[in-house]
Amino acid sequence: MPEIDAVKKSTLREYTSSILIAVGLALFIRTTVVQAFYIPSGSMEDTLHVGDYLLANKFVYGAPIDIPLMDLTLFRLPALRDPQPGDIVIFRSPTDRDRDLIKRCVAVGGQRLEIIDKVLYVDGRPFPDPPRSKYTDPSVYLATANPRDNFGPFVVPAGHFFMMGDNRDNSADSRYFGAVPRDLVKGKAMIIYWSWESDSRGPFYTGLASLPRVAGGFLWRLPARVRYSRLGDIIL
């Protein structure tokens, strides 16, 4: 019947329009306001752990507007401020533009830094270690062998930022790839919304016959793997 067909088409258009608006709004928020990130390595321990899922504030530094599926930024929205020493920053890797990194900004353009026997100095003063940072290797390398423990002096170029992991002995950061230019900065780490331990225990998949047992064991361990105390933590 014509009237019923018209109602069905109208309802379909409404549903389609609502879905497109919701998807467009989600993409707009993800592009300009907040974005979710996952921590895959221990370079920021013990501030951030492997298995932490966090939200980053992209608005504060001026969100980059990128062309989807292409390594090309059209423009940046106006920033409220630039990264400051102490901020935990998400940025594109200077050596692999398809990879995002998260490190702590320790110096900005124009500042002079030096690392002497693992101690970081910025403009001649010791830079305080973050509360949950750590050193795991008692060895101290000479600058000629490895820049990890002795580095500089180095003046950060204008429009660049020197980034270091809080896990100072186990972080590939600006000591190795140099200061990060402003156009690679994506956002400021804001809050942990999910966190869980990796599952390294069996039983492991050995064929279709073992699938129910593997799935059951995986689901049974899920609640114990969640780091409930970290959920909702503000990242400092």
SS (H, E, C) 57-106: ECCCCCCEEECCCCCCEEEECCCCCCCCCCCEEEEECCCCCCCEEEEEEE
Q: Catalytic: which of 43, 133, 171, 174?
A: 43
Residue 221: other Cβ atoms inside 10 A: 13
Please classify residue 229 by burial: count the beta carbons closer than 10 Å to its beta carbon, then call 0-12 exposed, 13-18 middle and 19+ buried. exposed
Gap between the Cα atoms of 68 and 168, Å rounded: 34
Gap between the Cα atoms of 30 and 206, Å rounded: 39
Q: Catalytic: which of 58, 103, 186, 188?
A: 103
Q: Which two tokens stand for residue 29?
A: 């928020």
Q: Which residues of 125-140 are buried (b: 16+ CB within 10 A; e: fewer)?
A: eebeebeebeeeeeee
- Based on the residue annotation, tell me whether 58 is a catalytic residue of this protein: no
Q: Which two tokens stand for residue 65?
A: 């507007």
- Based on the residue annotation, tell me whether 43 is a catalytic residue of this protein: yes
Amino acid identity, position 108: V
Residue written as token pair 């593997």 = 214
Active site residues: 43, 103
